[in-house]
Amino acid sequence: MPKENEKNKIDKRILKKSLYRDMFTLQWSWNYERMQALGFLWAILPVLQRIYKKGDKLKEAMKRHLHFYNTNPVMSPLILGASIALEEDKNGDASSSIKVGLMGPLAGIGDTLMAVLYRPIIAVIAASLAMGGSSLGPILIFLSGILWMGLKVPLFWLGYNKSTALIGDVIGDGIVKKATEIASIAGLIVIGGFIPSILSRVKTPLKFVKTVTIKGEAVEKAVELQGILDKLLPHLIPIAIVGLSYWLIKRKLSPVKILLVLLALSFITNILGIL
Amino acid sequence: MPKENEKNKIDKRILKKSLYRDMFTLQWSWNYERMQALGFLWAILPVLQRIYKKGDKLKEAMKRHLHFYNTNPVMSPLILGASIALEEDKNGDASSSIKVGLMGPLAGIGDTLMAVLYRPIIAVIAASLAMGGSSLGPILIFLSGILWMGLKVPLFWLGYNKSTALIGDVIGDGIVKKATEIASIAGLIVIGGFIPSILSRVKTPLKFVKTVTIKGEAVEKAVELQGILDKLLPHLIPIAIVGLSYWLIKRKLSPVKILLVLLALSFITNILGIL
Amino acid sequence: MPKENEKNKIDKRILKKSLYRDMFTLQWSWNYERMQALGFLWAILPVLQRIYKKGDKLKEAMKRHLHFYNTNPVMSPLILGASIALEEDKNGDASSSIKVGLMGPLAGIGDTLMAVLYRPIIAVIAASLAMGGSSLGPILIFLSGILWMGLKVPLFWLGYNKSTALIGDVIGDGIVKKATEIASIAGLIVIGGFIPSILSRVKTPLKFVKTVTIKGEAVEKAVELQGILDKLLPHLIPIAIVGLSYWLIKRKLSPVKILLVLLALSFITNILGIL
Amino acid sequence: MDGYGILIPIILGIWAYISIIAQLTGLWWAEALISGAITGLVVGDINLGLQIGATLTLMSLGMWTYGGATMPDFNTGSIIGTAIGALAGAQANSLEVGLAVAIPTSILMTQLDVLARASTTGFIHAADKHVENGNLKGVTKMHLLGQIPWGLSRGIPVFLAVWLGAAPVQKVIDWMPQWFMGGMSLAGKILPALGFALLLSQMDMKKYWPFLLIGYILFGYLNMPIMGIALAGIAIAIVYTNIKGGAANA
Amino acid sequence: MDGYGILIPIILGIWAYISIIAQLTGLWWAEALISGAITGLVVGDINLGLQIGATLTLMSLGMWTYGGATMPDFNTGSIIGTAIGALAGAQANSLEVGLAVAIPTSILMTQLDVLARASTTGFIHAADKHVENGNLKGVTKMHLLGQIPWGLSRGIPVFLAVWLGAAPVQKVIDWMPQWFMGGMSLAGKILPALGFALLLSQMDMKKYWPFLLIGYILFGYLNMPIMGIALAGIAIAIVYTNIKGGAANA
Amino acid sequence: MDGYGILIPIILGIWAYISIIAQLTGLWWAEALISGAITGLVVGDINLGLQIGATLTLMSLGMWTYGGATMPDFNTGSIIGTAIGALAGAQANSLEVGLAVAIPTSILMTQLDVLARASTTGFIHAADKHVENGNLKGVTKMHLLGQIPWGLSRGIPVFLAVWLGAAPVQKVIDWMPQWFMGGMSLAGKILPALGFALLLSQMDMKKYWPFLLIGYILFGYLNMPIMGIALAGIAIAIVYTNIKGGAANA
Ligand SMILES: OC[C@H]1O[C@H](O)[C@@H](O)[C@@H](O)[C@@H]1O
Ligand SMILES: OC[C@H]1O[C@H](O)[C@@H](O)[C@@H](O)[C@@H]1O
Ligand SMILES: OC[C@H]1O[C@H](O)[C@@H](O)[C@@H](O)[C@@H]1O
């Protein structure tokens, strides 16, 4: 599908500059308030300059890209690529909405792929090599990180090219929508299994000691609360804690404050012997 | 959504009368033929009197509400509320169809929630308290019953208000349809798991003793039929019995007759040692 | 739904002839290239002769039915019946497409029903009878085969009648499409479970012996590769082999050549001790 | 002690009557544990009532009158068992005696339950006539009187058994042949099937039967507990209707 | 006994021919158990035939010529094994001898099966020509003659092996190197893969591949037996088409 | 040996600074195993670094800063632990000493991580202003300087701990009350919850929550490994969108 309006077409040098900025510095200015927002803006900045030159248009575009942004770093170039392609077409709104639509699902998918599938396999092998005294251990893990990081490059071009291909179409619709939907569903299913799996060590040690008397005999029986909870709903405590945090976020509490709440919770329940 | 025709609006006193009748007497005249039909009619009677005054209209409405009706008692006020709201609008047909649509699914859901999730947890705790000699046992179970019963009140208002909200809309469509669908699907999935779970004690003790002769040695081997059946289809016998009963219902056999069939089956298979 | 044009209606004698040909000889000329194609053509030949008499029309119809065809033999009459009904209506294209649409799914379903559900049950009983010295064993398996074979007759009429019923409708659409869809989905789910189940004996015996040295102690630890693979993806090796074969088919390699590839693979991996 | 006077049988009979009606109401008064405790209080051995009641309550886990099915009447069994067991008090094996009476009684009561459920049909037919005649009072009366067979089917046997006392009750139970008790006990396990069939017949099975199958697979093949199945049911139902709704609106 | 005359080899060769054709028909005649029994009957040691046949039948559970794949030919193995084993009759270890012959034979026969399946291609090419010429008789002939390679690929080896007798057969088997037998046996396990791939290539994988994945998950991760997977397949397929159909009609 | 000079603390402090920035980049440099090996190299006991690093790496399996959550800082722990452990070299229990320092240090570092993540907020507010003024240089500067708090929050403690040496570090750790260490350790397990909540808040939960439930059921009730859940997620997502898309186009 040939682009009607080729004048915005950005040359590859600028694209690569954008990619490398995202690739190497995305999280340097990470903060609780808007997380990777500034990193993303700095990455896309060369593109915005090329397209909007300067003045209010540029300012507006920059503001747009300073909104909250957070995803798995390896997945970020995919979003950046798509976002750039839409900016090229002066379709700033689509550019924003694809960021918002994809960042959540891809965070879930990317984090899971890395933290539960890829890294543990490497880490177990590397650690057992190292324990055997071999320096191959740290080298293996080092190289695996580079390999993982290397994924950013093809993902960037994938995002850029696929998104470009749809621009003739109704933007934001069709494939973009479908991709977001697939990513959201698969992402949520994975996170749904992931939360109880990662947090499964959060358990209560509480026991009830009950004295049962049948025909004069007094027998002491210890009932573990965790066992009862597990029957009610497996992994109830982790779910409750995530639920609480989610609810606090929806009530517009800042992450730092929620963090303090969780810290307080940890200390109190630990002292009381509840968790 | 304001009601166009407010003249039918029934005052709260009558609504409450209806609720309390359902709440406390729904099943007093329970019978195999139409189960809770008469109980429902008596509950909604004050409303019908208020709307149709007397004469043929009232008679017709009463007949409509004497049709077969059966659901979990705690869920009934939900249906009653919705039904009343539709009668208020003189939409007798919708009032009937919501009864028929919801009573089945809500029976399944209500029975399961109570009999498998809520009551067993209470009952086990209460029984173990009682076995330890504490009178808290029966008191706990008593209070839990009241709590469960108390659900009827909010459920009634939920049914009444939600249903009212849709009356401006196409009745019987939209949300009502969706709610029935969700309830039907969730209800059937639960019942599907529930049937084999509750009836899993119905097993055959039959064994085949086979004399295997290999190279002159005669070895006796007992093969349990239940093991073979389980491989074929788990819980085959319970499913077959429920299937038989269902088929007899569809053949318009009355519940009492089916009950006699099942009794006969129990005695015969027990004497023959089949079950 | 009465047929508008009854003149093509084929008398039962010819239909039966077709059925018996399919029933008893379908696979006599089985070959790697087009599998049961010639068998199917010979089965439907009497019908084609009756409809197209002779000349180019007949020739064309015959060619159409010499295309690749392969399904589970017991399921074949179902397809044949449907195919005949569509030919009766001179709708040769629909006749072809129903063959192509149903043969795959029904192969999967029929093979599974027989090879994993029906036959094993019979075979285990028969074998244990035979091991006990009873000639009932082979007789049981013999009769079970006839019973299975007997399914072909009702399946033929099912296919013929159901298909006829839809002819008034848009052919190839509606129910036919739905049936193909159901068969495809159920078939693929079954095959998806079936592949790893049947091929689960293909495993690697490779072990890594690792010398772990902690605080001077040298401990030998054997790690089984199969265990690692299972954690990565259960049944990875069988899936890879099926995947390879599938890919070769898509690359238009003939089955005989793929077979040679698999043979070579077997010998090499066996000699190297990999599988 | 060999028997009670007339007062205790009457009190327990009335409690049996009341408790089944309250159960119909939706309260949990016909619970073996509650009735056991109350009977124990009345006959002066509350601990015995707690033990028998708790045992029977545990036997009833998961049981319910699904779709109007009959289940063993552990409530009546608990009352009679506790009362008869207490008579054996002196010999200190009151619990064994009590349970030996309570369990068969619970099973035998299924017969009277069936009778009560069937006999109430009269009231609804009468109500039909009153509706035809526009006689609202009559309708009301038929409904409120409907409870009588229910109440009597429990009250009378309790009264009689407690009044007659240990020996005759035991005699009745001993007199039952083995095959009869076995059959009754099996019937107790099988009867919920009818209830489930009735429930299913109230649903649009033609449209939704695959979901029944899904529930069965989750339990039968994956051994998922009911709580998990319920959650799965909710998730699947919502996804299903969302797709249908979304598609229809698209 | 050291060998059979000419009659028994011929009879068994014919049975081998017939049974494979009947198997193609869809009857289950090429079953190790059936052929074992018949061979046993012919050579006068039916019990031996039953034992060998039963053993091989149990080895074949779940095996099938999926999509036209080759599997070990337990039928031929059973005939030859029983016949050779019976020759050892006097020494009373006929079962061991029989199985020692039957199993490698079953595996070796895969080669002839492949040959037969490949050689029949000639018939379909000839049929193409006859169709072009409108020669219906020719078409019929090509189809009916198609069975000959199938039949001969079983009949001849059976005839030869039984006719030559124990010593030469054993020699052939002994002569096979270990790596060859191992490779053949592995091939027997791997070959169904081709059949599955052929089956898959007949389906609309582009549209429906996620369902293949679902089936795999049910078996690979949830260990569901095939029966459960089949039921799940039905439920899912119906729900899927209902939604699509319903939505399309909405 | 009782302490290091000034050089080694500086080198390790710089490595701590660099490694966390590389980690932010997406490289895996802040890995306990890598930092342990490097520290070992620097202080002359590489095997100790490998042992401590490997132990900590195994403790971190599955941990990640999901959604920006804080996790125990095993990297810093590994550096300090190895350096302090090596000081005990002579007494040959360097591994025990090293781990006894490394683990509490990893947990305590969560506090500094939170501090660093919070303090960087200043940079983004400054960037807002620069954007308003069209000052692109300023934006760039704010972004690139953003790393400083990150780096210092690791570099300084490492420098200090290694410079001060074994005794003071041990004193600090011993001085922490039991309830404090316990609470910190529990916090380390609980904090990922915040990350997950943040992730969820980025998704369209109103529309898709049933899928979260499905994932939960697969893990909580069916014990499916994450790999299986991921495959199921893909299959379900594709089927879902196919139906919706198909239906919408129909
Ligand atoms: O199953 C629905 C419903 O059926 C009958 O009406 C009674 O047995 C109720 O207790 C039950 O809840
Ligand atoms: O798999 C479908 C089908 O393929 C081939 O035609 C043969 O192997 C049949 O036995 C089989 O049923
Ligand atoms: O969870 C998504 C994302 O959140 C934060 O930005 C960081 O913790 C990343 O490491 C992580 O991948």
Buried-state track B234-256, b at ≥16 Cβ within 10 A, e below 16: bbbbbbebbebbbebbeeeeebb
* Band of pLDDT at residue D30, cut at 50, 70 and 90: very high
Candidates C205, C226, C207; CA nearest to C275 is C205
Residue C220, classed as helix, strand or coil, is strand
Cα dihedral E29, E31, E37, E40 sign: positive
Give every CB contact of residue C201 below 8 A, 6+ residues apart in sequence.
E189
Q: Which chains touch F (3 or more CB pairs under 8 A)?
A: A, C, D, E
Task: Give the model's confidence band at C176: pLDDT under 50 very low, under 70 low, under 90 confident, else very high.
Answer: low
User: DSSP H helical segments within chain B, as ranges?
Assistant: 12-25, 37-52, 55-64, 76-88, 92-112, 119-131, 136-150, 152-166, 174-198, 225-232, 236-250, 255-271
The rounded distance, in Å, linking the Cα atoms of D241 and B150 is: 30
Given its phi and psi angles, is residue C208 left (phi above 0), alpha (psi -120 to 50 degrees) or beta?
beta
**d(C-alpha D30, C-alpha B100), whole Å:** 29
Q: Residue D10 has which token pair?
A: 């009457």
pLDDT on residue E135: 93
Residue B55 CB-density burial (10 A; 0-12 exposed, 13-18 middle, 19+ buried): exposed
> What is the reported pLDDT for D2?
65
CA pair distance C199, E216, nearest whole angstrom: 12
CA D12 to chain centre: 18
Q: Compute CA distances F145 → A12, A92, C34, F135, F149, whole Å.
A: 28, 28, 70, 16, 9
Kindly report the average pLDDT of chain F as a whole number: 89
pLDDT tens-place string over residues F190-227? 888 888 898 898 888 999 999 999 999 999 999 998 88
How far apart CA C22 and CA E24 sit, in angstroms, is 11
Short-list C71, C80, C73, CA closest to C46: C80
Q: Which residues of chain E have pLDDT under 70?
A: 1-2, 89-92, 246-250
Range scoring the smallest mean pLDDT among C259-273, D55-69, E9-23, F27-41: D55-69
* B217 burial level (CB within 10 Å; 0-12, 13-18, 19+): exposed
Per-residue pLDDT, averaged over F154-159, amounts to 96
- Centre of ligand 2 from the C-alpha of residue B241, in Å: 37
Query: Would you state the pLDDT for residue F41?
Result: 95
**pLDDT averaged over every residue in chain C:** 85
Cα separation of A15 and C227, whole Å?
44
Residue range B262-272, pLDDT digits in tens:
989 999 999 99
pLDDT of residue E212: 96
Closest CA to E64 of F55, C115, C27: C115
DSSP chain E: -----SHHHHHHHHHHHHHHHHHHHT---S-HHHHHHHHHHHHT-HHHHHHHHHHHHHHTTT---GGG-----HHHHHHHHHHHHHHTGGGT-HHHHHHHHHHHHHHHHHHHHHHHHHHTHHHHHHHHHHHHTT-HHHHHHHHHHTHHHHHHHHHHHHHHHHHH-HHHHHHHHHHS-HHHHHHHHHHHHHTHHHHHHHHHHTS-HHHHHHHHHHHHHHHHTT---HHHHHHHHHHHHHHHHHHHHHHHH-
pLDDT at residue D43 greater than cutoff 60: yes
From A70, A79, A149, the mutation candidate for ligand 3 (largest count of ligand atoms within 8 A of CB) is A70
Residue F121: φ, ψ to 5° = -55, -35
The DSSP call for residue F71 is -
Contact D54, B123 (CB under 8 A): no
Residue B221 is given by DSSP the state E
Neighbours of chain C (3+ CB pairs under 8 A): A, B, E, F
Q: How far is E152 from chain F (nearest CA, A)?
A: 47
- Residue with the smallest CA separation from ligand 2 atom 10 is E65
**Could you write out the DSSP letters of every residue in D36-91?**
HHHHHHHHT-HHHHHHHHHHHHHHTTT---GGG-----HHHHHHHHHHHHHHTGGG
Q: Is the CB of C76 under 6 A from ligand 2?
A: no
Return the H-helix or E-strand segment holding C15: helix C12-25
Q: What would the mean pLDDT of A249-255 be, rounded to a whole number? A: 89
Record the tokens describing residue B222, joined without a space. 């007992």
For helices A92-112 and F192-201, angle between their N-to-C axes, nearest 10 degrees: 150
Instruction: Provide the pLDDT confidence category of residue B133 given band limits of 50, 70 and 90.
Output: confident
Q: Identify from C131, C135, C136 which residue to disrupt to test chain B contact, counting B C-beta atoms within 10 A and taking the largest count.
A: C131
Residue-level pLDDT at A164: 58
The Å distance, Cα A49 to ligand 3 centre, comes to: 28
| Predicted pLDDT at C167 | 44
Can you list the alpha helix ranges (DSSP code H) found in chain F?
A: 7-25, 32-43, 46-59, 74-87, 94-119, 121-132, 136-145, 147-164, 166-175, 178-190, 192-201, 205-220, 226-249
Average pLDDT, chain B: 85
Whose CA is closest to atom 7 on ligand 3?
F68
Cα–Cα distance for residue pair E62/E227, rounded to 1 Å: 13
Give mean pLDDT, residues A141-157.
Answer: 94
- Which of A164-178, C9-23, C89-103, C219-233 is the least confident region? A164-178
Distance F65 CA to ligand 3 centre (A): 6
Name residues whose C-beta falls within 8 Å of residue E168's C-beta, 6 or more positions apart in sequence.
none
| pLDDT beyond 60 at A2 | no
Chain D residue at shortest CA distance from E222: D222
Which residue bears the tokens 């409120």?
D144
- Ligand 2 atom 1: residue of nearest CA: E67
Give every CB contact of residue B101 below 8 A, 6+ residues apart in sequence: B176, B180
The reported pLDDT for the residue numbered C169 is 45
Token pair 């779970």 is found at B197
F135 touches ligand 3 (CB under 6 Å): no
User: Three-class SS of residue A33?
Assistant: coil
Mapping DSSP to helix (H, G, I), strand (E, B) and coil, where does residue B153 land?
helix
ipTM: 0.82
Q: Which atom of ligand 1 is nearest to the CA of B73?
A: 12
For residue A3, pLDDT over 60 is answered with no
- What is the reported pLDDT for E79? 97
Enumerate the residues of chain F whose CB falls inside 8 A of the CB of residue A156: none
Is the CB of residue E136 below 6 angstroms from any atom belonging to ligand 2? no
Across C36-63, average pLDDT: 93
Q: What is the pLDDT of residues A6-40, one digit of tens each?
A: 546 789 999 999 999 999 999 999 998 899 999 99
The pLDDT, as a whole number, for residue F180 is 83
Average pLDDT value over all residues in chain E: 89
Candidates B46, B44, B38, B45; CA nearest to B70 is B38
Q: Which of C122, F196, C67 is nearest to A199 (CA)?
A: F196
CA distance F232 to chain C (A): 13
Q: Which range, of B41-55, C166-180, F11-25, averages the lowest pLDDT? A: C166-180
Distance between CA atoms of residues E60 and E54, nearest Å: 10
Model confidence pLDDT, tens digit, residues D44-71: 999 999 999 998 998 888 788 988 888 8
Q: Tell me which of B119, B131, B135, B136 to substitute to probe the interface with A (most A C-beta atoms closer than 10 Å).
A: B131
pLDDT of residue F160: 94
Pairwise CB contact (< 8 Å): A132 & C210:
yes
Distances (CA, A) of E120 to A219, B130, C28, D244, F232: 80, 80, 10, 51, 43
Closest CA to A245 of F185, F70, F182, F60: F70
Residue C74 Cβ inside 6 Å of ligand 2? The answer reads no
D239 touches chain F (CB under 8 A): yes
Which ligand number lies closest to the CA of residue C112? 2
**How far D225 CA lies from chain A's nearest CA (Å)?**
9
Mean pLDDT of the B254-268 span: 87
pTM of the model: 0.82
Check if F211 has its Cβ closer than 6 Å to any atom of ligand 3. no
Residues of chain E positioned with their CB less than 8 A from the CB of C35: 68
pLDDT of residue C172: 44
What pLDDT was estimated at residue B69? 94
DSSP code string of F153-205: HHHHHHHHHHHH-HHHHHHHHHHS-HHHHHHHHHHHHHTHHHHHHHHHHTS-H
Q: Using 50, 70 and 90 to split pLDDT, how confident is the model at B120?
A: confident
pLDDT at C217 over 70: no
Q: Which pLDDT score is estimated for B275?
A: 87
> Which chain C residue's Cα is nearest to E224?
C193
Question: What does the pLDDT read at residue F76?
Answer: 96
Q: Decide whether any atom of ligand 2 lies within 6 Å of the C245 Cβ.
A: no
Which whole number is the average pLDDT over C24-53?
94
Q: How far apart are CA B63 and CA B59, in angstroms?
A: 6
pLDDT of residue A152: 95
Using the mean position of ligand 3's atoms as its centre, give its distance from the Cα of residue C228 in Å.
29
pLDDT tier, B180 (very low <50, low <70, confident <90, very high otherwise): confident
Q: For chains D and C, tell me whether 3 or more CB atom pairs sit within 8 A of each other.
A: no
- With a CB cutoff of 8 Å and minimum separation 6, the contacts of E54 are C126, C127, C128, C130, C131, C137, E32, E33, E36
Mean pLDDT over residues B57-76, rounded? 93
* pLDDT more than 90, % of chain B: 45
Burial track F6-41 (b if 16+ CB lie within 10 A, e otherwise): eebbbbbbebbbebbbbbbbbbbbbbbbbbbbbbbe
- Identity of the amino acid at B76: S
**In angstroms, how far is CA F170 from the centroid of its own chain?**
23
Q: Answer whether residue B185 shows pLDDT above 80.
A: yes
Q: HEC states along A59-96? A: HHHHHHCCCCECCCCCCHHHHHHHHHHHHHCCCHHHHH
Q: What digits encode the pLDDT tens for the residues D170-190?
A: 787 788 788 887 887 788 788
Of C214, C215, C233, Cβ closest to residue F227: C233
Which of F217, F222, F238, F239 to mutate to test binding with chain E, by most E CBs within 10 Å of its CB? F239
Q: What is the DSSP letter of C251?
A: T
SS3 D5: coil
CA distance E47 to B123: 61
User: What is the predicted pLDDT for the residue at C171?
Assistant: 41
Question: How far is A171 from chain C, CA to nearest CA, in Å?
Answer: 32
Handedness of CA A144, A150, A154, A159 (dihedral sign): positive
- The residue whose CA has the least distance to atom 12 of ligand 2 is C72
Task: Collect all residues with Cβ–Cβ distance below 8 Å to D185 and sequence separation of at least 6.
Answer: D107
List all residues 6 or more positions away from A6 whose beta carbon is below 8 Å from its beta carbon. none
What does the alpha-carbon distance between residue E78 and residue C141 come to, in Å, rounded to a whole number?
15
